[in-house]
Amino acid sequence: MTIVLVDDLPLAPPLLDRAAVEQARLARLAREHLASTQPCVDYEGLAAGRGSSQLAARQWVKRHRAAGRLFVVDYDGGTLMPSFQLDEVFDLDPRVAPSVERLTEFGMSSWAMWQWFCAHNPWIGARPVDVIGTEALEQAVSGLVDA
C-alpha cells in the first residue's frame, strides 16, 4: 500500500466555475432590468397606497404570501411587489391572485414569476401581464402548469 502525501502532489490551478459566474451575472442583469422597467412598490409605497402603517402593510403581505396569492422579490436590500398584483386601492387583484397561486404551487420562484408575467408567452401570443382580466391569462398559466 502506497500512501500519497499532499506535499507530493503537483500544484494545480483552482477549478473555477466560469459558467456559474456567467449565469449569475445574466440573472442579475435580468433582475435589474425588471426592477427598473416594470412598475412595483416597496413596503413604504404599499403602506401609502393602502392608507396604512408599514407594519400593517408587512402583515398584509405576509398573510397573502403565506397563502401563495402574492409574490415579492428581494432587491437591493429591500422588498419589491410587482404592481400588477394590486388593484387601484392596493388590495390584492382578484384577477391575478389565482394565477399567482397556481404558479406558486407549481414551484416557480418569485423572480421567475415576475419574468414570466412580463415576457412574451407563445401560448397566448402576448405578455401575461397584458391580458390580466381575460381568459388568456388562465390559458397561459395552464399552458405552463399543465404541460
Give the start-to-end residue ranges of the domains of the chain: 36-145
Give pLDDT tens digits for 75-87: 999 999 999 999 9
pLDDT at residue number 4: 54
Beta-carbon contacts of residue 19 (< 8 Å; ≥ 6 apart): none
- One-letter amino acid at 11 equals L
Helix (H, G, I), strand (E, B) or coil at 128: helix
CATH 3.90.550 fits 36-145, yes or no: no
pLDDT at residue number 12: 82
User: What is d(CA 125, CA 141) in angstroms, rounded to the nearest whole number?
Assistant: 13
Count Cα neighbours of 22 within 13 Å in the Cβ-side half-sphere: 4
Give pLDDT tens digits for 39-54: 999 999 999 999 999 9
